[in-house]
Amino acid sequence: MSAVFEGAVMTAEGMLFNGVICQPVVEKCEGCERSKQFEGQAYCGSYAQPEAKWALGVCNFATHVKATVDKGGKVKVNPLKASKRAAKGR
């Protein structure tokens, strides 16, 4: 048993760890330093449902994925902050 998942128990739904059902990592998680083995399957040590973290793009916990720059080279600005700056005359 891995020291990361000490006290974890396998159930029909998945791995039960600290009262949370953890799902196995998905293919996109391969190579991430956060995935740990438990009873022959890899689980994320940071998030219980790794598939959900990849649903909207790149997982923010992924250690094996490099951040990319926007193709246009533009920086995204918070619209609320932009309106406040415009009001101040910056």
pLDDT of residue 3: 67
Q: Residue 2 to residues 5, 34, 85, 89: CA-CA distances in angstroms?
A: 6, 13, 51, 57
Q: Residue 59 to residues 9, 15, 48: CA-CA distances in angstroms?
A: 26, 21, 13
pTM for the full predicted model: 0.65
Candidates 57, 38, 40; CA nearest to 48 is: 38
Mean per-residue pLDDT for 23-51?
Answer: 90
Instruction: Kindly report the length of the chain.
Output: 90
- Locate 60 and state its tokens: 């923010």
Mean per-residue pLDDT for 14-24?
Answer: 89
pLDDT tops 70 at residue 1: no
